[in-house]
C-alpha cells in the first residue's frame, strides 16, 4: 500500500506525532507511523525502509528529544538518499545536532510552539497538501504562529542592538568631552601658575635692583620734617629733630660718616688750642 507521508518521531514525542497524523488524515492525507503500521512479528528496520520508499514526504517531528533518538538519524538518512522530501516540524527552540545538519541543510521546515497549537497543525497540513498537489510555495511562506513569534523576536533583538549601539556612541562622546574638559582645566591651571611665578620673580628682581642701586633710605615716617643742627658744648654739630617723633637710628654708613666728622672736628679743636 502506498502512503503520502512518513512520520518520523522520538518515542517521547509520540502524542505529538499522533496529533499530526490525525490532523493530516482528517484532510485525506495517508500517513505511515510506527508502531501503528508495523504488523506483529514484522522486522522494524525492513518495515521502516519499505515505508519510506513508498511515501513522497517525510515529516520529522523535531524537538529536544530527537537528538537523543539514534533511530531518527537512520530514518532521515534513508529518506535523504532515497530522494524523499523532508519537512522538519520544529518544536520550540530545539536545535539539531551535527548528524541532522547534513540532511536538513536545505530542507523546508515548519516552526511550531511546544506543544503545537491548532494553528501550527493546520499550517503543516496546508503545506503538505500543497506539496502533494504540486504547489511550489515553500512552507516558510505560510502564516505560522511560530514564524510570527520568531520574526517578532528578531525585530526586538534588532531594536535592542540599535539601542545598545546608540548608548555606546553617546557614552564614547561623553567620555571624549570629559577628557577635553579636563585637559582644558589643566592647561588653564598651568598658565595661571606660570604667570604667578613670573610675577613673583619680577617683583623680587625689582626689589633687589632697587635696594642695590638706590641709597639707603631712612626708616620712619615719610612725612617727618627735615632735621635741624645745633652746636654743642663740645663744638659738635648734632642733628636735632624738631618733631616729637623719636630720632631715627642711623644706618651703618651714616654712623661711619658721623664718626669721621667728629674726628675732624676734634683735630681742628686741638690745632686751635695748640696755636693759642
Closest CA to 63 of 8, 140, 145, 134: 8
pLDDT (mean) for 11-35: 94
pLDDT (mean) for 232-256: 56
User: 3-state SS string over 205-226?
Assistant: HHHHHHHHHCCCCCCCCCCCCC
Look at phi and psi of residue 103 and say left if phi exceeds 0, alpha if psi is from -120 to 50, else beta: alpha
The per-residue pLDDT for range 44-78, each reduced to its tens digit, is 999 999 999 999 999 999 998 988 888 998 999 99
What residue spans of the chain are helical by DSSP H? 14-26, 44-53, 70-81, 98-104, 118-132, 145-213, 252-275
Question: Is pLDDT above 70 for 35?
Answer: yes
Region 5-143: CATH code = 3.40.50.450
Please report, rounded to a whole number, the percentage of residues in the chain having pLDDT higher than 90: 32
Q: Is residue 51 packed enough to be buried (19+ CB in 10 Å), middle (13-18) or exposed (0-12)?
A: buried
- C-alpha to C-alpha distance for 52 and 20, rounded to whole angstroms: 17
CA 244 from centre of chain: 82
Q: Which residue ranges make up each domain of the chain?
A: 5-143, 147-186, 228-275
- C-alpha to C-alpha distance for 73 and 15, rounded to whole angstroms: 20
The per-residue pLDDT for range 106-138, each reduced to its tens digit, is 777 888 888 889 999 999 999 999 888 876 545
The answer to whether 6 touches 25, Cβ cutoff 8 Å, is no
Question: Is pLDDT above 50 for 275?
Answer: yes
- C-alpha to C-alpha distance for 232 and 127, rounded to whole angstroms: 141
User: Which residues touch 229 (CB under 8 Å, ≥6 apart)?
Assistant: 237, 238, 239, 240
Closest CA to 243 of 269, 262, 223, 261: 223
The per-residue pLDDT for range 154-178, each reduced to its tens digit, is 556 656 767 878 888 888 888 888 8
The per-residue pLDDT for range 186-217, each reduced to its tens digit, is 777 676 666 666 666 655 555 555 554 545 45
Amino acid at each position: 500500500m502506498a502512503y503520502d507521508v512518513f512520520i518520523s518521531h522520538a518515542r517521547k514525542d509520540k502524542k505529538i506525532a499522533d496529533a499530526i497524523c490525525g490532523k493530516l488524515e482528517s484532510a485525506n492525507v495517508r500517513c505511515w507511523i510506527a508502531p501503528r503500521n508495523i504488523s506483529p512479528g514484522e522486522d522494524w528496520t525492513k518495515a521502516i525502509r519499505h515505508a519510506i520508499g513508498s511515501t513522497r514526504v517525510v515529516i520529522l517531528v523535531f524537538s529536544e528529544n530527537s537528538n537523543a533518538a539514534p533511530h531518527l538519524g537512520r530514518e532521515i538518512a534513508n529518506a535523504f538518499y532515497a530522494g524523499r522530501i523532508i519537512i522538519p516540524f520544529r518544536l520550540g527552540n530545539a536545535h539539531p545536532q551535527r548528524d541532522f545538519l547534513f540532511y536538513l541543510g536545505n530542507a523546508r521546515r515548519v516552526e511550531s510552539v511546544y506543544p503545537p497549537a491548532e494553528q501550527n497543525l493546520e499550517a503543516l497540513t496546508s503545506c503538505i497538501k500543497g506539496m502533494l498537489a504540486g504547489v511550489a510555495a515553500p512552507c516558510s511562506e505560510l502564516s505560522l504562529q511560530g514564524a510570527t513569534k520568531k520574526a517578532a523576536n528578531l525585530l526586538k533583538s534588532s531594536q535592542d542592538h540599535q539601542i545598545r549601539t546608540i548608548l555606546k556612541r553617546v557614552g564614547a562622546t561623553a567620555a571624549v568631552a570629559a577628557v577635553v574638559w579636563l585637559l582644558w582645566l589643566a592647561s588653564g591651571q598651568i598658565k595661571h601658575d606660570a604667570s604667578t611665578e613670573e610675577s613673583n620673580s619680577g617683583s623680587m628682581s625689582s626689589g633687589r635692583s632697587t635696594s642695590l642701586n638706590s641709597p639707603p633710605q631712612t626708616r620712619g615716617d615719610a612725612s617727618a620734617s627735615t632735621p635741624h643742627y645745633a652746636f654743642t658744648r663740645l663744638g659738635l654739630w648734632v642733628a636735632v629733630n624738631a618733631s616729637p617723633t623719636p630720632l631715627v637710628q642711623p644706618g651703618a654708613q651714616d654712623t661711619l660718616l658721623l664718626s669721621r666728622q667728629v674726628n675732624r672736628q676734634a683735630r681742628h679743636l686741638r690745632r686751635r688750642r695748640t696755636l693759642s
